[in-house]
């Protein structure tokens, strides 16, 4: 099998092939990409979560000292 790439374009600083051909002695297939969309930047604020009311931080040692109900 042989792969051929053609119609290179640049989008947001990323080079990509518009046409990709898969060649085989028994036949071939060509894929044509009409539009390439790349991931946009994720704002840092999406990773900041507000603590819900009543939120408490517990150390692992304190959790091990609690008595089990089972």
Round to whole Å and give the CA distance between 47 and 41: 13
Rg, C-alpha atoms of the chain = 27
Residue labelled with tokens 């999406």 = 46
Q: Domain count of the chain?
A: 1
DSSP three-state, residue 45 = helix
Domain assignment present for 67: no
Q: Is residue 18 situated within a structural domain?
A: yes
pLDDT of 27-69, one tens digit each?
999 999 988 888 888 888 888 888 899 988 877 776 666 665 5
Residue 38 lies in a domain: yes
| Within-domain flag for 60 | no
Which has more confidence, 40 or 26? 26
Flag whether 24 is in a domain.
Answer: yes
Predicted local distance difference test score (pLDDT) of residue 50? 87
Domain that holds residue 29: 2-53
- Rounded to an integer, what distance in angstroms lies between the CA atom of residue 33 and that of residue 15? 13
Phi, psi of 4 (to 5 degrees): -125, 135
Give dist(CA 31, CA 40) in Å, integer. Answer: 24
């Amino acid at each position: 099998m042989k792969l051929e790439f053609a119609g290179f374009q640049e989008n947001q600083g990323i080079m990509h092939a518009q046409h990709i051909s898969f060649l085989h002695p028994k036949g071939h297939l060509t894929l044509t990409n009409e539009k390439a969309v790349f991931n946009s930047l994720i704002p840092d604020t999406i990773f900041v979560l507000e603590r819900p009311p009543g939120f408490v931080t517990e150390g692992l040692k304190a959790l091990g000292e609690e008595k089990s109900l089972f």
